[in-house]
């Protein structure tokens, strides 16, 4: 034990020098042991007995290293220790050996603790790295979430803009449809007016052709009564004699036209081959309100002109023998005699 402890002291001292805390403790114990050795040598050299040694030990407080070393030496060596200096030296060597063994044990404990400390440091480093990585991942996730939120906001803003544009387009479409509806309504009104005009003039187309062509072919003065009757029928003014080249009919107010009296005149015609100017007299023209009979000559000329005009106006239906033609004429009370005066 003693032989093994001696060579180990230099290495132990070197190790202790490398550890600041253990080095200070070891240095303190070494100084105390050296002091105890010197004091013990002094007591032994003086030839002190046990009582004097106890008195000398009382100078030191209990629990100090010197006090413990002297007590251990007294127990081990017995009463003959005070007469032998070599035994004291051997005791001190044993004390040093025990101290070295204790230091070795402490160093072993330190060496055992160092790997644990290194493991703890490594674990702490790993935890720090892991936490740093987790924090970085969390930061990346937060950044990605923020980017997603920003993108979603941009998409929503674009969607709102698109919806606003769609609303504008729909409003424009509604305006266009309303405009089209107004145009259609106007077109319908125009068509209704056209239909009314067509309905009003549809039954009188033949008489209209007759009236116009009578002006073209210079209707004689004695036939102005027929001209006036046709003008009243078509709601034209008939007070002025027509100009055969530049005549334009004048329209009379609707109220005056509606207030006129209605008279039906029945005309009998012969076939067109027998109806020429200067033909033999025809039967007199009869009316529903029993007007006086018309003269044969006037009736013949008027009927001939009417027949010629129907041929010239390219009517599909020709007048044949024993054909009855109905003329609906609107006249006021005084216009009956005026319209038919030339026929009487």
pLDDT digits (tens, 9 = 90+) for 130-140: 899 998 889 99
Give me the chain's average pLDDT, please: 60
Distance CA 227, CA 26 (A): 157
Distance CA 236, CA 254 (A): 10
pLDDT average, residue stretch 102-114: 81
Rounded alpha-carbon distances, angstroms, from residue 163 to 160, 168, 169: 5, 9, 10
- Best-predicted range by mean pLDDT among 142-156, 238-252, 318-332? 142-156
Q: 233: how many CB neighbours lie within 10 A of its CB?
A: 22
Residue 5's pLDDT is 42
Q: Judge whether residue 244 has pLDDT over 80.
A: no
Residue 54's pLDDT is 65
User: Is residue 211 within 8 Å of residue 234, measured between CB atoms?
Assistant: yes
Q: Judge whether residue 103 has pLDDT over 60.
A: yes
The more confident residue out of 96 and 241 is 96
User: Comparing 11-15, 290-294, 307-311, 331-335, which segment has the lowest mean pLDDT?
Assistant: 331-335
Nearest to 89 by CA among 41, 57, 53, 49: 41
Side by side, the strands of the sheet bearing 261-269 are: 286-287, 261-269, 323-331
User: Comparing 108-112, 159-163, 183-187, 215-219, which segment has the lowest mean pLDDT?
Assistant: 215-219
H or E segment and range at residue 268: strand 261-269
Residue 203's pLDDT is 47
Residue 311's pLDDT is 41
Which residues, 6 or more positions from 188, have their beta carbon under 8 angstroms from its beta carbon?
Answer: none
Grouping H, G, I as helix, E, B as strand and the rest as coil, residue 265 is: strand
Grade residue 261 by pLDDT with cuts at 50, 70 and 90: very low
User: Comparing 55-64, 70-79, 142-151, 187-196, which segment has the lowest mean pLDDT?
Assistant: 70-79
Q: Judge whether residue 323 has pLDDT over 50.
A: no
Residue 232's pLDDT is 54
Grade residue 328 by pLDDT with cuts at 50, 70 and 90: very low
Residue with tokens 């319908």: 188
Residue 114's pLDDT is 78
The more confident residue out of 343 and 122 is 122
Length of the chain equals 344
Strand-pairing partners, residue 267, are 325
Q: What are phi and psi of 323, to 5 degrees?
A: -95, 130
Q: How far apart are the first and last CA of the chain?
A: 180
User: Comparing 34-48, 88-102, 228-242, which segment has the lowest mean pLDDT?
Assistant: 228-242
Which residues, 6 or more positions from 249, have their beta carbon under 8 angstroms from its beta carbon?
Answer: 231, 234, 236, 237
Distance CA 327, CA 324 (A): 10
Q: Judge whether residue 82 has pLDDT over 50.
A: no
Nearest to 214 by CA among 307, 130, 284, 139: 307
Burial of 202 (0-12, 13-18, 19+ CB in 10 A): exposed
Distance CA 48, CA 42 (A): 9
In tens, the pLDDT along 279-295 reads 443 333 333 333 334 34
Distance CA 66, CA 35 (A): 7
Residue 279's pLDDT is 40
In tens, the pLDDT along 148-170 reads 999 999 999 999 999 999 999 99
Grade residue 220 by pLDDT with cuts at 50, 70 and 90: very low
DSSP letter string, 247-258: ----BPPHHHHH
- Give the helix ranges, DSSP H, for the chain: 2-18, 20-45, 50-58, 65-77, 85-202, 205-216, 224-233, 254-258, 296-312, 335-340
Residue with tokens 């004291």: 88
324 torsion bin: left (phi>0), alpha (psi -120 to 50), beta (else): beta
Q: Which two tokens stand for residue 184?
A: 């259609």
pLDDT average, residue stretch 55-72: 62
In tens, the pLDDT along 13-55 reads 555 556 655 566 667 767 766 776 676 666 655 555 566 666 6
Residue 96's pLDDT is 78
Q: 90: how many CB neighbours lie within 10 A of its CB?
A: 15
The more confident residue out of 6 and 316 is 6
The more confident residue out of 162 and 313 is 162
């Amino acid at each position: 034990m003693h032989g093994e402890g001696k060579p180990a002291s230099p290495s132990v001292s070197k190790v202790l020098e490398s550890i600041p805390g253990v080095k200070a403790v070891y240095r303190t114990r070494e100084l105390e042991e050296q002091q105890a050795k010197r004091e013990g040598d002094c007591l032994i050299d003086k030839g002190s007995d046990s009582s004097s040694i106890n008195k000398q030990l009382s100078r030191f407080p209990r629990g100090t290293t010197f006090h413990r070393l002297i007590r251990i030496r007294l127990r081990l060596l017995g009463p003959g220790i005070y007469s032998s200096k070599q035994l004291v030296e051997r005791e001190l060597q044993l004390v040093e050996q025990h101290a070295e063994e204790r230091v070795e044990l402490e160093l072993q404990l330190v060496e055992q603790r160092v790997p644990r400390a290194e493991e703890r440091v490594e674990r702490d480093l790993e935890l720090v790295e892991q936490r740093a990585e987790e924090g970085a991942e969390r930061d990346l996730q937060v950044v990605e979430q923020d980017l997603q939120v920003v993108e979603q906001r941009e998409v929503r803003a674009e969607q709102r803009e698109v919806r606003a544009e769609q609303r504008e387009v729909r409003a424009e479409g509604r305006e266009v449809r309303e405009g089209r509806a107004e145009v259609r309504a106007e077109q319908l009104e125009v068509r209704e007016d056209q239909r009314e005009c067509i309905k009003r003039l549809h039954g009188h187309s033949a008489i209209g052709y007759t009236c116009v062509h009578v002006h073209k072919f210079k209707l004689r003065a004695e036939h102005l009564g027929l001209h006036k009757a046709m003008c009243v029928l078509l709601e034209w003014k008939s007070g002025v004699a027509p100009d055969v080249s530049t005549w334009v009919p004048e329209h009379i107010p609707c109220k005056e036209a509606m207030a006129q009296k209605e008279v039906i005149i029945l005309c009998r015609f012969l076939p067109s081959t027998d109806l020429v100017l200067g033909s033999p007299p025809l039967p007199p023209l009869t009316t529903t309100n029993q007007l006086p009979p018309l003269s044969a000559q006037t009736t013949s000329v008027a009927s001939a002109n009417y027949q010629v005009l129907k041929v010239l106006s390219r009517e599909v239906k020709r007048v044949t023998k024993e054909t009855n033609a109905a003329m609906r004429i609107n006249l006021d009370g005084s216009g009956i005699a005026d319209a038919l005066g030339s026929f009487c």
